[in-house]
């Protein structure tokens, strides 16, 4: 067995996201870059999973493969009961529209639309309309009730990311993937945004899988996988204590060179 997942001990039937021995290499000219070297991981329904690792460790690749935005070179991905290898583009598009939400570092808001229009955009594109009481509830929850008619340029970075979160919440998507969701935020906004995600998962049963280079982000998660050079080198289950994470940062767990078999040398 080449890899070890963070969910070996858990009940796999309750995993809404599962990657099994996922490898991904990219061609660049005649070379190929190994971005994921065989990752096995499972994310339980209704939990927050954090993928933590330095720049270039494969976090975005992992999320893209898990979300079906990119196809692994080998291995399998199961998302909300669907094995992604077996899905054609139409089925994948439908899966993304109906069951998967995304939050990005750069917010991905449309500048011409106001807060409410940005939040409901995925529903509008799918030809649906938001449940009005859910919309009000979500907008209030993210603290933007006073800003419904504001456009993104009138908001702070933290408020913009809360619009993106509201957009992922209002569709009631089963899984929300967040790639460096706090990468453009200061410490206070980071705290607010991650607290909000965590609270939402508790209340709605949605699942969040987020990636960050910042180990402190792990303290908002139920499960943490540490990624180094395309491999999971460590894992934590909860509750995760900030002090432990800080200690691990100082120990430089993800600075170790990958070993021949697994990510951890020695
Ligand atoms: P992270 O998100 O942790 O910074 P990435 O998943 O973006 O890491 O990248 C992992 C590795 O794969 C890096 O070495 C990166 O240069 C490489 N990589 C990512 N995307 C591509 C691509 N489209 N083409 C070639 N190499 C890529
Ligand atoms: Mg990345």
Is the CB of residue 170 less than 8 Å from the CB of residue 117? no
Does residue 190 carry a pLDDT above 60? yes
CA distance to 3, 80, 134, 236, per residue, from 180 (Å): 25, 22, 26, 19
d(CA 139, CA 185) in angstroms, rounded, equals 20
Ligand 1 site-directed mutation target among 27, 58, 214, most atoms within 8 Å of CB: 58
Task: Identify the H or E element spanning 118.
Answer: helix 115-125
Give the atom of ligand 1 at the shortest distance from the alpha carbon of 54.
3
Residue, of 246 and 104, whose pLDDT is higher: 104
Q: Which atom number of ligand 1 is nearest to the Cα of residue 179?
A: 2
**Bigger pLDDT: 259 vs 100:** 100
Q: Let me know: does 177 contact 102? Beta carbons within 8 Å.
A: yes
How far away, in angstroms, is 57 Cα from ligand 1 center?
A: 8
CA distance 228 to 213: 11
The residue whose CA has the least distance to atom 10 of ligand 1 is: 58
The response to whether residue 183 sits with its C-beta less than 6 Å from ligand 1 reads no
pLDDT at 115: 95
How confident is the prediction for the chain on average, in pLDDT?
A: 85
Ligand nearest to the CA of 65: 1
pTM: 0.84
Tell me what pLDDT residue 146 has: 95
Q: Where are the domains of the chain?
A: 7-264
Residue of minimum CA distance from atom 23 in ligand 1: 26
Superfamily of domain 7-264: P-loop containing nucleotide triphosphate hydrolases (3.40.50.300)
Average pLDDT over residues 25-40: 93
- Quick check: 113 pLDDT over 80? yes
Question: pLDDT tens-digit profile of 149-188?
Answer: 999 999 999 899 899 989 988 888 899 999 998 888 888 8
- Give the burial string for 191-203 (b: 16+ CB within 10 Å, else e): bbbbebbbebbee
pLDDT at site 142: 86
Q: What share of the chain is helix, strand, coil (3-state, %, to 5)?
A: 40, 25, 35
Whole-angstrom distance, CA of residue 71 vs CA of residue 118 = 29
Which of the four pLDDT bands, split at 50, 70 and 90, describes residue 9? Answer: very low
Least reliable range by pLDDT among 18-22, 39-43, 217-221: 217-221
- Which ligand 1 atom is the nearest neighbour of the CA of 63? 6
pLDDT value of residue 204: 87
pLDDT digits (tens, 9 = 90+) for 78-100: 999 999 999 999 999 999 888 89
Residue 132 CA to ligand 2 centre (angstroms): 35
pLDDT tens column, 222-233: 999 999 999 999
């Amino acid at each position: 067995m080449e890899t070890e997942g963070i969910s070996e001990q858990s009940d796999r039937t309750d995993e809404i996201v599962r990657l099994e021995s996922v490898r991904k290499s990219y061609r660049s000219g005649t070379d190929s870059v190994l971005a994921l070297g065989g990752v096995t991981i499972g994310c339980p329904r209704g939990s927050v999973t954090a993928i933590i690792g330095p720049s270039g460790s494969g976090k975005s690749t992992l999320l893209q493969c898990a979300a079906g935005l990119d196809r692994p070179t080998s291995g399998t991905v199961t998302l909300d009961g669907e094995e992604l290898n077996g899905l054609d583009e139409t089925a994948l598009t439908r899966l993304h529209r109906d069951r998967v939400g995304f939050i990005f570092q750069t917010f991905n808001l449309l500048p011409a639309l106001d807060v409410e229009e940005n939040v409901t955009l995925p529903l509008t594109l799918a030809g649906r309309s938001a449940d009005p009481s859910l919309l009000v509830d979500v907008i209030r929850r993210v603290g933007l009730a006073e800003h419904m008619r504001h456009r993104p340029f009138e908001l702070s970075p933290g408020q913009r990311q809360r619009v993106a979160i509201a957009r992922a919440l209002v569709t009631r998507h089963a899984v929300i993937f967040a790639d460096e969701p706090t990468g453009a935020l200061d410490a206070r906004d980071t705290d607010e945004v991650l607290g909000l995600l965590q609270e939402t998962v508790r209340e709605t049963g949605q699942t969040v899988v987020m990636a960050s280079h910042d180990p402190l982000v792990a303290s908002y998660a139920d499960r943490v996988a540490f990624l180094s050079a395309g491999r999971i080198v460590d894992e934590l289950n909860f509750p995760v204590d900030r002090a432990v994470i800080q200690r691990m940062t100082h120990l430089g767990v993800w600075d170790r060179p990958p070993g021949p078999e697994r990510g951890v040398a020695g």
